[in-house]
Structure 1
């Protein structure tokens, strides 16, 4: 009988058209190594794509595209350690799923132990039936190790099996079809050797960075009869062949353990010898799995989210598991950021702003990991200063996409697979990434009370970003307003005004509000520092009171643009663009990206009132309503609830949701504006990559920011937990139909459990907390003692807006562009 172990995610059939997506979703990692869920007998083809990656191991290659020299830095696909296959002696073809009749099948992920399993009963072309079982892990106990266990059980037949186990160094970066025109060969100087029976080693290095890579494998026959063993070397690979006798019902068990080391690892001078040293100390698969599960256990306990609906609880735990596979205690020791699609080939493994969505999850459960992700930004402050200077600005201008260093990695050209043409890419103009970094620093320090981080790193980061915004704002004497020009917002479908000589937009609402927020918070961060540190930092930056006063003025006079009915526009001029029937476009071009479709027709999304994802509505998604209202009022704008509803309706009608982050942003933004719609978006977002219609995108790597964003919606918007300077605030707004949910969290005030019972919010303080904490809620303010709990009913607060006002909603300050 087949085994049916507990599964967080499982597939009970083999679907070649969906296999690429499943390989991405069943990927295993420990924050350092990541291994796609490809079968060990598979090779890179139209169905399968084996891939092994090391966090932060990038390589830069150059190409000539459209007469321009372009450089791309990519996360490198390392030598493939997985190859392990078999055939009956005398047959020419090695085993493959496509060549046999599959009678039973299951490919599953057990997130409670961090292992994947694959099991199938098959019948080959000669009519022989066999069970095949694989178990795999990427060790959380020893981050340089990965291993698999393969079991073959003949059913009613006997004979001799030939087994091949090897390391393939002939791999390329070929997972993303859009990158086909670019050079994909990152490895060179590939040399394989058989060190001893069962022990193989393959050395190579990256072509550009010349990083040395050592991959060593040990293949052991744990059960079965070994008849012979020999090594076979090829140009870019090394393998060994085993002849094994098999009998009916008698398992043939093979264990393959891999050790991977690079010259980028601490203390490694020669990667091959380092890999061999790791492998020689590696125990059996059973011992590896026991240590691996033990290492995972406390982290999974911290991430645990309990839900009354089992499917939702499982989805939530899976989200936390995937985040930890990318950012773990091991990656915290490296100089790496948080890649948008995990350590896979999507987006070349680049770092965008996705830590903004993940940090609220991590900082309340794993503050050390959150701190490490912020340090990645801090180490690139000098590069950001240099970028600002090169652009004629002061302060720090962080890149939209970065990788090994702080240089901008956003490509100038993007390939349109529908038209076969190159498209200009101006998304690097998303300068708002700097405001997101400042927000992350502030949120982390608020949550953890890490004043040392603020003093050593965070304040300087925030101040330099604020300095950039103050310099980027252009004063209009006629209105005493400041304009920010030449930028792009989170909606990547607009990066230039139609027909303009230069790319960029004028007064993107999200950018301007977040710039104002940064200018205000940076001054607060400075005031929080000890006097000596504050004085030293101001002296080092040449920061004087006169400049700080200018920041204050800019923060209060940045311009926003409204329609006559009070709707906040995404950017100045948006209402003058042409309307577009999104439903008709979707019906005519199902499953296709709108920007690609319009380019095929000789047009551009820049010309239309259409958005890829939430833009203005990112504001109430990332900021609490109290914080957002305070920022807007500081700018001289007071928006009513009705204005926000109009703005949300305006944007929703024009959004294609071509990003998996869009559902989360609207779920959070609409929590108080339209609770029913909010919950629909939230439920869709809880399964962001499980829809087969998104297979081609997810196959390149799942969007991890969406996982963290789901938690942000749940904790901050629905359950309404916010940190204040002197305590906690509970302002729950659960949408009707939100089922009970419970999770724990740590912050500077202690450890707590937060639960939605279905009718009320319960906050419990851990008995070990040092002191009572001040908790404000709709019923007033009270001190929550260690071991005590309180119950808060929803509906007490409706948001810091006015539901109605005389004349134009929001007053005249909200009209036009004034």
Structure 2
């Protein structure tokens, strides 16, 4: 790899799925995996094209039950491009040829995927192909492939086959393969004016997608005459182009594709639109130039410069690249959320979880309009969240743990344990803390942007409704003389019930209770900052009054937080009664114990019985809040909390965590940053390679982990720089590991671009824009204001 390119120079079947995820291309509207153009789903390769928000529900018979799942649909494969030489029967597949050289390259700077192949067939004919692919960041409906095709030691007739394949199914995740996977219905296919097209419809959500493709051949920028024929199979339309090539003379084969759907704005008929757009589009080089300029604009906003040991600079760019391919400027205004696994595969069925908590900080400081749009995805599902809450007997809104198209709860009822081969009940839907994450995201967005218009018309309403829900699920305990929150699941995810209990959920998860206290105070704070007229409107609309507000204040001060030994917060009530786990013994018995829940279940045991966590839970408090904020929070709840207890809490829970989630290392690096910089750097390095090296053993091929990717960038952006916004002040308190020598980035703070350059003990702050009012900054213990196009150096 280089700072901008991911390069493979070999072929490894066992790595193909991983490479297809890492080399996927997207633009925030759709994404296509980095599968070879000549490949098909065969257990090694898995071509997949996914539309942002393109879901479909199907019912399946499973373990004697009928269950319904909503999936991210694998839409028609637009990639197919292959060739065969005269007198050959078989179409080109790389695996069937003698490969003389191979190179695969993902160019992050320009958003291009290239494959260079030099092959020899059984007749000793050598052929070189340079394939270049893009999913346009300029026009979200466009994609293109260019083959530079050179017959090295032969001349003759070659036949090119280009196709659009709608016969695809959702088969990208092995543990889902017992479920119904046929999501597409073929509506129309054909060819017109040297263009092939296919129109499909998802069979439940009734989303139409049209794909149209034009394939042309050029020699020295002049069109080559070809003999063209089309071929129709069920669900698949293809065309064959035959022409003569001469030894050593390179021809270019260009395939331009347009995708259009019934979800698009200003579109009446997706097929008509696709055909019309395709007719207007120029050649590959022109499209590539526009696409590269669009990426250049994005990198200007999102670019970072890091000098450190190892290859962190490249890996952070790779992570930013995949974030922008999932959500970009083309996402703004579309009714879609940001999925935990990107639009890169079918894991988690493309659902939206709480990973926004780790993703939005990067977007807040660079493309705040995108964060706003993604928050509105939640706002537009308030009605569904209200129905979920009402179904459980509560007021307010209860956003689901897994969200998809409509905002209903999409969490699976049962999941397959690959170790035991058994389907077991899934109670992770009880993670009510996803609602707290949404509230926290709203407030963080406002702090960074100062977007009062959003808070006035959307944010405050969501905060009040979420607060109302949490007020409803709290109960008063006479014995404790405090409020409780019972029957939930915390961020840990392993503990979904008490030992030997038939009822799901645990009581008084410390993380949930503390953040709920924060929620009440900030919901009221948000209400106070909007104008009186809007306050009265919301009171009338939501039927909320001052008496309810006073109740929230009371609950926020009296929520129960369980503690164990001196200063150690209990993950939940009763945690101290669980058994200690034999970590050393299990590490000797199993090469990987990250998914300890599956191991114990296969052994007939339960992780619920042990002090063993999948990922950070209590530690999430130290991730979200500074020590000063935590002291204030606990003080408000009438608890003593000493910041000196934080290292002991970290030590206690780190030793009892399996790191079964890629997010766990992100949180650990963050919370260790101030007390153990060496450990923080080590955890950061583990987190930053988690997808690149697929450290969880087979999960990345099913889709990248977007929360972890964004989280690693945010460790550099906010954690090591000490960047935060509090009380209308931009705080900067850098504490870099020794492995980092310098770091620079641009951020957008309340509409103003600032350039921050950290080197040694100094920080250079440069305002790139004129400002209406001075920006208040606190650098370590120094407070100052800057305005105008100013540069200030502080240390």
Task: Give TM-score scaled by structure 2 length.
Answer: 0.96
Summarize the Cα distance change of 1:208–1:247 in structure 2 as closer, same or farther, 3 Å threshold: same
Q: Which residue number in structure 1 is paired with residue 636 of structure 2? A: 634
Q: Which residue number in structure 1 is paired with residue 318 of structure 2? A: 318
Quote the offset at 1:296 in angstroms: 2.1
Report if aligned partners of 2:100, 2:119 keep a CA contact under 8 Å in 1. yes
Q: Which residue number in structure 1 is paired with residue 283 of structure 2? A: 284
Report if aligned partners of 1:191, 1:237 keep a CA contact under 8 Å in 2. no
State how far apart, in whole Å, the 2-side matches of 1:386 and 1:532 are.
28
Quote the offset at 1:123 in angstroms: 2.0
State how far apart, in whole Å, the 2-side matches of 1:696 and 1:525 are.
44
Q: Which residue number in structure 1 is paired with residue 134 of structure 2? A: 137
Quote the offset at 1:789 in angstroms: 4.0
Q: Which residue number in structure 1 is paired with residue 615 of structure 2? A: 613
Q: Which residue number in structure 1 is paired with residue 200 of structure 2? A: 204
Cα RMSD (Å): 1.8
The answer to whether residue 677 in structure 2 is matched with residue 680 in structure 1 is no
Counting only pairs closer than 5 Å after superposition, residues 171-182 of structure 1 correspond to structure 2 as 171-182=168-179
Summarize the Cα distance change of 1:225–1:779 in structure 2 as closer, same or farther, 3 Å threshold: closer
Q: Which residue number in structure 2 is paired with residue 337 of structure 1? A: 337
State how far apart, in whole Å, the 2-side matches of 1:726 and 1:207 are.
50
Three-state SS of the structure 2 residue aligned to 1:245 is strand
Q: Which residue number in structure 1 is paired with residue 513 of structure 2? A: 512
Q: Which residue number in structure 1 is paired with residue 245 of structure 2? A: 246
Three-state SS of the structure 2 residue aligned to 1:740 is strand
Quote the offset at 1:219 in angstroms: 0.5
Quote the offset at 1:174 in angstroms: 0.5
Q: Which residue number in structure 1 is paired with residue 390 of structure 2? A: 389
The answer to whether residue 157 in structure 2 is matched with residue 160 in structure 1 is yes
Summarize the Cα distance change of 1:286–1:208 in structure 2 as closer, same or farther, 3 Å threshold: same
Comparing 627-636 with 446-455, greater Cα deviation is found at: 627-636
Quote the offset at 1:245 in angstroms: 1.8
Q: Which residue number in structure 2 is paired with residue 581 of structure 1? A: 582
Quote the offset at 1:16 in angstroms: 0.9
Quote the offset at 1:5 in angstroms: 10
State how far apart, in whole Å, the 1-side matches of 2:504 and 2:600 are.
18
Counting only pairs closer than 5 Å after superposition, residues 116-127 of structure 1 correspond to structure 2 as 116-127=113-124
Report if aligned partners of 1:169, 1:190 keep a CA contact under 8 Å in 2. no
Comparing 564-573 with 141-150, greater Cα deviation is found at: 564-573
State how far apart, in whole Å, the 2-side matches of 1:137 and 1:711 are.
25
Q: Which residue number in structure 2 is paired with residue 797 of structure 1? A: none
State how far apart, in whole Å, the 2-side matches of 1:295 and 1:369 are.
16
Quote the offset at 1:29 in angstroms: 0.5
Report if aligned partners of 2:460, 2:526 keep a CA contact under 8 Å in 1. yes
Report if aligned partners of 2:166, 2:186 keep a CA contact under 8 Å in 1. no
The answer to whether residue 301 in structure 2 is matched with residue 299 in structure 1 is no
Count of aligned residue pairs for this structure pair: 789
State how far apart, in whole Å, the 2-side matches of 1:227 and 1:387 are.
59
Q: Which residue number in structure 2 is paired with residue 54 of structure 1? A: 51
Q: Which residue number in structure 1 is paired with residue 444 of structure 2? A: 443
State how far apart, in whole Å, the 1-side matches of 2:224 and 2:537 are.
72
State how far apart, in whole Å, the 2-side matches of 1:733 and 1:555 are.
33
Quote the offset at 1:196 in angstroms: 2.7
Comparing 478-487 with 770-779, greater Cα deviation is found at: 770-779
Three-state SS of the structure 2 residue aligned to 1:455 is helix
State how far apart, in whole Å, the 2-side matches of 1:5 and 1:572 are.
50
Q: Which residue number in structure 1 is paired with residue 215 of structure 2? A: 219
State how far apart, in whole Å, the 1-side matches of 2:264 and 2:131 are.
30
State how far apart, in whole Å, the 1-side matches of 2:46 and 2:279 are.
29
State how far apart, in whole Å, the 1-side matches of 2:170 and 2:746 are.
40
State how far apart, in whole Å, the 1-side matches of 2:354 and 2:693 are.
24
State how far apart, in whole Å, the 2-side matches of 1:651 and 1:704 are.
24
Quote the offset at 1:458 in angstroms: 0.2
Comparing 279-288 with 315-324, greater Cα deviation is found at: 315-324
Comparing 155-164 with 610-619, greater Cα deviation is found at: 155-164
Quote the offset at 1:755 in angstroms: 2.5
Summarize the Cα distance change of 1:517–1:692 in structure 2 as closer, same or farther, 3 Å threshold: closer
State how far apart, in whole Å, the 2-side matches of 1:260 and 1:783 are.
49
Q: Which residue number in structure 1 is paired with residue 403 of structure 2? A: 402
Deviations 1:443-500 (A, max 9, x none): 1111111101000000010011111111111111233211111111111111111221
State how far apart, in whole Å, the 2-side matches of 1:227 and 1:731 are.
65
Comparing 135-144 with 762-771, greater Cα deviation is found at: 762-771
State how far apart, in whole Å, the 2-side matches of 1:306 and 1:185 are.
45
State how far apart, in whole Å, the 2-side matches of 1:631 and 1:612 are.
26
Counting only pairs closer than 5 Å after superposition, residues 331-370 of structure 1 correspond to structure 2 as 331-343=331-343, 344-370=345-371
Summarize the Cα distance change of 1:118–1:302 in structure 2 as closer, same or farther, 3 Å threshold: same
Deviations 1:651-705 (A, max 9, x none): 1111111111111111111112322211111122222311144451100111011
Deviations 1:495-521 (A, max 9, x none): 111221210011111111111111110
Quote the offset at 1:67 in angstroms: 2.2
Three-state SS of the structure 2 residue aligned to 1:613 is coil
State how far apart, in whole Å, the 1-side matches of 2:791 and 2:733 are.
16
State how far apart, in whole Å, the 2-side matches of 1:82 and 1:416 are.
34
Report if aligned partners of 1:568, 1:643 keep a CA contact under 8 Å in 2. no
Q: Which residue number in structure 1 is paired with residue 235 of structure 2? A: 236
Q: Which residue number in structure 1 is paired with residue 668 of structure 2? A: 666
Comparing 381-390 with 407-416, greater Cα deviation is found at: 381-390
Quote the offset at 1:782 in angstroms: 1.9
Quote the offset at 1:715 in angstroms: 2.7
**Unpaired stretches in structure 1, ≥5 consecutive residues:** 794-818
Three-state SS of the structure 2 residue aligned to 1:423 is strand
Comparing 688-697 with 44-53, greater Cα deviation is found at: 688-697
Deviations 1:559-597 (A, max 9, x none): 111112321121112222222223432342324622221
Summarize the Cα distance change of 1:428–1:444 in structure 2 as closer, same or farther, 3 Å threshold: same
Report if aligned partners of 1:18, 1:695 keep a CA contact under 8 Å in 2. no
Q: Which residue number in structure 2 is paired with residue 482 of structure 1? A: 483
Three-state SS of the structure 2 residue aligned to 1:17 is helix
* Deviation beyond 6 Å, 4+ runs, structure 1: none
State how far apart, in whole Å, the 2-side matches of 1:464 and 1:746 are.
30
Comparing 415-424 with 430-439, greater Cα deviation is found at: 415-424
Report if aligned partners of 2:200, 2:208 keep a CA contact under 8 Å in 1. yes
State how far apart, in whole Å, the 2-side matches of 1:737 and 1:693 are.
22
State how far apart, in whole Å, the 2-side matches of 1:239 and 1:20 are.
26
Counterpart of 2:706 (choices 704, 707, 728) is: 704
Deviations 1:253-298 (A, max 9, x none): 2100111111122233332222111211121111111111122221
Report if aligned partners of 2:352, 2:404 keep a CA contact under 8 Å in 1. yes
Quote the offset at 1:6 in angstroms: 8.4
Comparing 539-548 with 632-641, greater Cα deviation is found at: 632-641
State how far apart, in whole Å, the 2-side matches of 1:205 and 1:5 are.
42
Report if aligned partners of 1:151, 1:253 keep a CA contact under 8 Å in 2. yes
Summarize the Cα distance change of 1:6–1:646 in structure 2 as closer, same or farther, 3 Å threshold: closer
Three-state SS of the structure 1 residue aligned to 2:486 is strand
State how far apart, in whole Å, the 1-side matches of 2:395 and 2:387 are.
9
Report if aligned partners of 2:484, 2:560 keep a CA contact under 8 Å in 1. yes
State how far apart, in whole Å, the 2-side matches of 1:42 and 1:446 are.
48
Quote the offset at 1:770 in angstroms: 3.4
Q: Which residue number in structure 2 is paired with residue 650 of structure 1? A: 652
Comparing 471-480 with 376-385, greater Cα deviation is found at: 471-480
Task: Give TM-score scaled by structure 1 length.
Answer: 0.94
State how far apart, in whole Å, the 2-side matches of 1:150 and 1:757 are.
45
Quote the offset at 1:189 in angstroms: 2.8
Q: Which residue number in structure 2 is paired with residue 600 of structure 1? A: 602
Summarize the Cα distance change of 1:6–1:645 in structure 2 as closer, same or farther, 3 Å threshold: closer
